[in-house]
Amino acid sequence: MKITVITSNEELANKFIYLIPESHECYLITEIPIWDEIEQYGPDLILSIHCKTIFPSRIVNNFRCVNVHPGLLPNGRGWYTHVHAIAEGKPTGATIHLMTEIVDKGEIICQSEVPVHTSDTSLTVYDRIIAKELELFKNNIDIILGGEGKYYSKKDFDKLCQIDMEHVGTMRQHIDLLRSLTHGDYNNAYFISEGKKIHVKIVLT
């Protein structure tokens, strides 16, 4: 897959590129894009990472273009949206969305609000937003790259239910697994002992 990354912040863009599997070919542009060259290159995906250039309609209409936006869409459109959010006491966060001819109006792929504290400045909120953008990008990389997201089958659930007693992991991982499988009166999680199923639940108080 050929990916063109367009950015006004090379250091930040490289953090996103690092999250893209090495099997994909990434081409980074940090200057004002020459759209004719991009069209000739024919990328499968164009990523806008904090890019200050508005894409022409022929690009967004003919290529899959995804924007990483430091704001909560649909309300936080445009420039320096976190600054306005702080000044107006409104929520802010990070959004990754498909691009259209109208700036910051495309279909939202994923987004998340970030907290704003009374001790925050524009910089501390912005840093928090960037961290959230990277988290969203990492957790939704398959959809962002044009996939349909991960599909979990009934077999996947059944496999999850049978606990591997030899599995090595953190206490958090083990508790999270048991939390995910504890559902009221249902007996989901189990392990095999002497040929019998021993069901396990967790009680959180």
Domain span at residue 23 reads: 2-144
117-145 pLDDT, tens digit per residue, is 999 999 999 999 999 999 999 999 989 98
Residue 135, judged by CB atoms within 10 A of its CB (0-12, 13-18, 19+), counts as: middle
Q: How many domains in the chain? A: 2
Q: Is the domain of 165 the same as that of 91?
A: no
Contacts (Cβ under 8 Å, ≥6 apart) of 16: 5, 47, 49, 68, 134, 137
pLDDT of residue 150: 63
pLDDT of residue 153: 81
CA distance 98 to 60: 9
pLDDT of residue 77: 87
Give the residues of the chain that fall short of pLDDT 50: none
Does 138 map to a domain? Answer: yes
Catalytic residue among 24, 50, 69, 167: 69
Does 205 map to a domain? Answer: no
Residue 24 annotated to the active site: no
pLDDT of residue 17: 95
Q: 37: domain CATH number?
A: 3.40.50.170
Task: State the residue for tokens 């199923």.
Answer: 197
pLDDT of residue 149: 58
Does 139 map to a domain? Answer: yes
Q: Is the domain of 134 the same as that of 159?
A: no
**Total-model pTM:** 0.73
